Amino acid sequence: MSKLTYPASAYSTLFVEDRPMVDLRAPIEFSKGAFPCSNNLPLMTDRERELVGTCYKQQGPDAALALGHQLVNGTTKQQRVDAWLGFLAANPDALIYCFRGGQRSQISQQWIKAAGLEVAYIEGGYKAMRQHLIEVIDQTPQRQPMLVLSGITGSGKTDFLLQRPEAVDLEGAANHRGSSFGKKTTPQPTQINFENQLAVSLLKQQQRSPELLLLEDESYLIGRNALPKDFYMGMQQANVIVLEASFEQRIQRLRYEYVDRMLNDFVARDGEQAGLNAFVDYLHQSINSIRKRLGHQNADELIAMIDTAIDEQLQRNNLQLHLEWIGMLLTKYYDPMYEYQLAKKSERVIFRGDQQALNQWLDQRQLQA
């Protein structure tokens, strides 16, 4: 049996280069966790894997292997080989892997070779690659100096980070803006997929800018995704820079993020009326999620202001009233909370300024590195 393999020592290169990969595991395995450039073309369906697993426990590996060949045979086998061949034709540098780089990888590799193509399978499979990515995250606080970007809500931290080679976008990896209004119209990744994406982003960043890692100041939870403990603790000890912006800039930016973009995204996803309903629910739910901290009276007033602003938007295409409830949200909730949190880390703040000042400061720091 051919055993052309991709070595475990080159895992980082594989992820940095975005090598396309065929994940041979069953769909249920893939759904729990996978890699950014992986594509699920399984050797066995969930049911076939379940039957083979039961046979393995009851009758041993030889019987399980025989059952697997019986289940994936004839037309079924040909369909799976054709799917692999089609992907490999479109992605000639692709690799294949299963859970541990064992029997499923070797059988698939043999069938692909019999069809006329050579493909390497990845040593260690999903389990070893996943462990490698966990270690990348855990070792980052010791490997690179961290710098945390703070800034009052609406100051444009994410937009700023996306311009900087030193930065990794944690909210992008979590598909969430990290606040009560942070939900997006597409779901967040599983915790495993969040960690995998974070690790891959860190590997790429370490090649671009090994002397410094810039991260947005985040809570332990970004939506439902949790930052790994050691990584989060490293952020809590890092120096802080603060991005400043005017109140007017902030409310205009938040109107775009909370209103313009979210309404467009909901309508694109659900259609006009259903999208509008989902958008209204999103705004109401976002307020209700902080109702206790806002106070019931403020929460009720904000919801009434939101409804009035939406009516004005629909009837007259006037977005001005959205600025009023956003301004109240900032003054009653976000700004006091931010000032309190920043005061607790004031001794770690080493620079403040607007986007231009922060860019100049970081550029100068890079020149001196």
Q: Which domains does the chain have, with CATH numbers?
A: 5-130 (3.40.250.10), 144-368 (no CATH)
Query: Which residues in the chain show pLDDT less than 70?
Result: 1-2, 369
Question: Of the candidates 179, 158, 118, which has an alpha carbon nearest to the alpha carbon of residue 335?
Answer: 179
Instruction: List, for residues 29-47, the tens digit of each pLDDT value.
Output: 999 999 999 999 999 999 9
pLDDT at 3: 77
Residue closest to 306 by CA, chosen among 328, 290, 289? 328
pLDDT, tens digit, for every residue of 109-152? 999 999 999 999 999 999 999 999 999 999 999 999 999 999 99
- The pTM (predicted TM-score) of the whole model is 0.92
Residue 149: predicted pLDDT: 98
Report the pLDDT value the prediction gives residue 46, as an integer from 0 to 100.
95
Would you state the structure tokens that stand for residue 278, as one six-digit string? Answer: 């989902």
Which active-site residues does the annotation give? 98
Q: What is the pLDDT of residue 366?
A: 78
Q: Compute the distance between CA of residue 93 and CA of residue 20 in angstroms, rounded to an integer.
A: 7
pLDDT of residue 369: 62
Q: Whose CA is closest to 43, among 94, 117, 108? A: 108
β-bridge pairing 225-226 and 221-222: antiparallel
* pLDDT for residue 1: 41
